[in-house]
Amino acid sequence: MVKEGDLAPTFSLPSSGGGVVELEKLGGRRVVLFFYPKDGSPGCTRENCLVRDMLPEFEKHGAVVLGISRDSLTSHQRFSEKHRLTHVLLSDVDGKVSKAYDAVGLLGMSKRKTFVIDEKGVVVKVVDGMLPDKHVKEALKALESLSAGSAAI
C-alpha cells in the first residue's frame, strides 16, 4: 500500500494524448495522479470535468495532472472528446499500475484514489473514497500547502 511519505511507484503507460507517460521522466515536477473506475460513469465524468475546470489552478502550483483507469485508449479518447477534457488520461488495461498504488476496486476496476506527488517523487497526500469533489479539492489543497512551504524557504 502506498502511503504519505513513500516514494511513488514508477510506471510507464500509454496516453490519450499519444505516446507514453513515464512518471520518472516527470521528475522535478509535482504530479496529481488520480485513479477512477470507468470512463463515462456519472462520478468519473464529474471528477474529470472538475479536473478540467480546475486545471489552471493545478498548473498554477506547478502540477501535471494525470487520470488513470483500466479503460482502453480508444475509450479515453472518446471520453476526452465528449467532455472536452484537457488533462491527460492514461490507460492501465492490465491493472498493474492500479495494483501498485493499491487502487483496485470492485470487479478489478480502478477505484477512486488520488495521489499528490512532490518534485522529489514523494507522495505527500493520499485521498481515498468515492466523492469526486473531495478528491479534486483535497489535491488542490495539498498543492497549495506545498507552494506555501516552498515560498517560506
Strand order, beta sheet including 63-69? 88-91, 63-69, 30-35, 113-117, 123-128
Please give the angle made by the CA atoms of 42, 130 and 54, to the nearest 5 degrees: 70
**Catalytic residue list contains 44:** yes
CB count in 10 Å sphere of residue 141: 13
Contact present, 129 and 37 (Cβ < 8 Å) = no
Contact present, 118 and 43 (Cβ < 8 Å) = no
Out of 21, 31, 44, 90, the active site residue is 44
Per-residue cell: 75: 475509450
Q: How many residues does the chain have?
A: 153
Residues marked active site are found at 44
